[in-house]
Amino acid sequence: MTTFNIQTESSTVNWTGKKVLGLHTGTIQIKNGFLSFENDEIIDGEIHIDMTSIVITDISDKSIYKEFFDHLNHDDFFSVDQFKTASLKINNGRKENMHYIISGDLTIKNITQPIHFTATVEIFSDFLHALGEIKIDRTLYNIRYGSGKFIPNLGDKLIYDEFVLQFKLVGQR
């Protein structure tokens, strides 16, 4: 078995949330994590995300930024005061062609749901480089603000239920 510890300073997670009239983008930091491999298969892994590190990258106006930032941290979205960490527990990942099909459990706001996604993983002698994208249905984690599933007639105030995390992981043996 070979384990790679995630190098947080070299790894990135970008997020995108969409609404009817546009989108918002930002970043969030990895707190720590690891991936373990055996015979070209991912057999274990865990990645912790520091929810207090949310940054919004598409808003430059300071008052609008603060309003949206506070909104994301509030109970309407991530309840960051109460839930400072989100986590991805990787149960397995099998290699198919140039990609890994990964299954795991994602925990946000202390709610855990199964998740599946693909990633490109390259392993060098002592380093790992992984790229991928995870689509997350926020309503499964009790993040219902602006969701058409729960609030009727939102019109152009509708926020789509899925948000996307794009990640680049660098790991060291």
Structural domains in the chain, sorted by start = 2-172 (2.40.128.110)
The average confidence (pLDDT) of the chain is 90
For residue 139, pLDDT over 90 is answered with no
pLDDT of residue 76: 81
pLDDT higher than threshold 90 for residue 127: yes
DSSP assignment string, the chain: -EEEEE-TTT-EEEEEEEETTEEEEEEEEEEEEEEEEETTEEEEEEEEEEEEEEEESS---HHHHHHHHHHHHSTTTT-TTT--EEEEEEEEEEEETTEEEEEEEEEETTEEEEEEEEEEEEE-SSEEEEEEEEEEEGGGGT--TT-TTTSS--GGG-EEEEEEEEEEEEEE-
Closest to 22 measured CA to CA, from 165, 164, 160: 160
Residue 138, token pair as written in the block: 């926020």
Sole residue written with tokens 């490109």: 120
Q: Say whether pTM exceeds 0.85.
A: yes
Instruction: Identify the pLDDT of residue 145.
Output: 57
pLDDT of residue 47: 97
In whole angstroms, what separates CA 137 from the centre of its chain?
Answer: 11
Listed residue (116, 124, 128, 105) closest to 34, CA to CA? 128
Instruction: Quote the percentage of the chain above a pLDDT of 70.
Output: 90
CA dihedral 142, 147, 149, 153 (to 10 degrees): 150
Q: Could you tell me if 12 and 70 are in contact, meaning their C-beta atoms sit under 8 angstroms apart?
A: no
